Amino acid sequence: GATALDACDGDRTADIVTVNPVNTAAPGAYTVTYNVGDGHGNNAVQVSRELTVKDTTPPVIALAGSPEITVECGAVYTDAGATALDACDGDRTADIVTVNPVNTTLPGAYTITYNVADGHGNNAVQVSREVTVTDTTPPIITLAGSPEITVECGAIYTDAGATALDACGGDLSSQIVVTGNVNSSAPGTYTLVYSLPDAAGNTAVPLTRTVQVTAGEACRPAPTVEEALEALAASFDEADTENDSRLSFSEAQAVLPGLTKEVFDLIDTDGDGYLSRAELGLEDGDGGCGCAKSLLTPEGLKKRLGDLFLAGLVLSLLAIWGRRRN
C-alpha cells in the first residue's frame, strides 16, 4: 500500500486509488500504481511498485495404488498410474511420463518410474513402483489320444504322445519326459508316465497311459522241428500253392506263422530250399492229407529227428573229408 498527505487537506491516504493487477498463480512481472487528488482537484504524482511472481516449486507426484506389486507370470498387468499437482499449473497428471518395463511373461523384478515437470521447468521428484513377476504355476500336460490303449501282440505301437503348455514358458511339449516302455511282442499291461518341470521348478501333474498288449498269432513261440513237421505234413496240399509237390519257405510260413528259417533248414535235409513230401514223411499217393501216421506218433517223430541228425552228421563228415583232400 501507500500513504498520502496534503498541505491543506491533511491525510489523504484513504482516498488513494490503487491499481493492483498481480496474479500470483501466473508467474510474471506486474506494476501496482497508486494515485490520489486533493479536495481542490490537484492530483498527486503517481507512485508505482514493480512486483515479480516467480515459480520455483516443482509439482508433486502421488502414486495410485501400492508401491509394491506382485503379479503371476502370464497374467495381464494393468498399472494403476499416478497423479501430479502443481502450485501454479494445477493438475499435471496428463503430462506424467511413465516408463513401464514390466514383462509378465518373464519372471523378475521391475521398476516403473513416473516423472513430470511444470510449465516453468521445475521437475517433480521421481516416484517409482516395484513390480515382481513370479512363476508359481506348473505347466499343464494334455494327453494326445486315449489314456487306455489296446494293441494286438506283434503290432507296431506308436505312442500318440502329449502336449504341455506353461504360462511363462509357452509350449513345452518337446521337454516332456516319458518313462516306461511298451513291448508289443510280449502280452501284458504297460504304463507310460508323462511328467514335466518348468524353468522355475514347478512340476506338472503327471499323466499316465495304459497300454494293454493282447495275445495274438504273431506272439506265439516259433514252432519246434516236431511241431513244424506235424503241421506242414497235415496241410501240405493247402500250402503247395504252386502245385509243384514241394513247399518253399514262404509257402510254409503262410500256413505256419512263426516258422523260422532255422527250423525250415533242419527239415530241408537235401538243402535245395524246398520241403518235399518225403522230407515231411509223407508217402507219395497219400494225397497230402497228413496221413503218415507213423511219422505223427511220438515214435515216428523221434525216428524223423534221428534221420535228420544222421543226415546232418554225414554232411559234416563229408565236408571235413573234402577239406582234408584239398
Domains with residue ranges and CATH for the chain: 5-53 (2.60.40.10), 60-134 (2.60.40.10), 140-219 (2.60.40.10), 225-324 (no CATH)
pLDDT of 293 reads 38
325 vs 273 pLDDT, higher one: 273
Per-residue pLDDT of 142-169, as tens digits, reads 999 999 999 998 889 999 999 999 999 9
Per-residue pLDDT of 181-208, as tens digits, reads 999 888 899 999 999 988 888 999 999 9
Considering only 44-53, 122-131, 231-240, 276-285, which range has the smallest mean pLDDT? 276-285
Stretch 295-322: mean pLDDT:
57
Considering the chain, what is the average pLDDT of its residues? Answer: 88
Alpha carbon of 94 to those of 82, 89, 119: distances in Å? 10, 12, 13
Question: 215: pLDDT confidence band, cut at 50, 70 and 90?
Answer: confident
Q: How far apart are CA 193 and CA 190, in angstroms?
A: 10
The yes-or-no verdict on residue 286 having pLDDT over 50 is: no
pLDDT of 287 reads 43
Sequence-ordered list of residues with C-beta below 8 angstroms from that of 20, at least 6 positions apart, any chain? 30, 32
Alpha carbon of 114 to those of 76, 94, 139, 194: distances in Å? 20, 12, 35, 47
The cell numbers describing 128, all together, are 517409482
Stretch 33-40: mean pLDDT:
93
The cell numbers describing 115, all together, are 516423472
Please, where are the H alpha helices in 216-278? 225-234, 236-239, 249-255, 261-267
Q: Are 97 and 114 in contact (CB under 8 A)?
A: yes
Stretch 226-230: mean pLDDT:
93
pLDDT of 275 reads 95
Per-residue pLDDT of 108-149, as tens digits, reads 999 999 999 999 999 999 999 999 999 999 999 999 999 999
pLDDT of 26 reads 85
Angle between helices 298-325 and 225-234 (to 10 degrees): 110
Considering only 9-13, 192-196, 217-221, 233-237, which range has the smallest mean pLDDT? 217-221
pLDDT of 291 reads 42
The yes-or-no verdict on residue 317 having pLDDT over 70 is: no
Per-residue pLDDT of 47-101, as tens digits, reads 999 999 888 899 999 999 999 999 999 999 999 999 999 999 999 999 999 999 9
Q: How far apart are CA 30 and CA 17, in angstroms?
A: 17
The strand pairing partners of 110, in sequence order, are 131
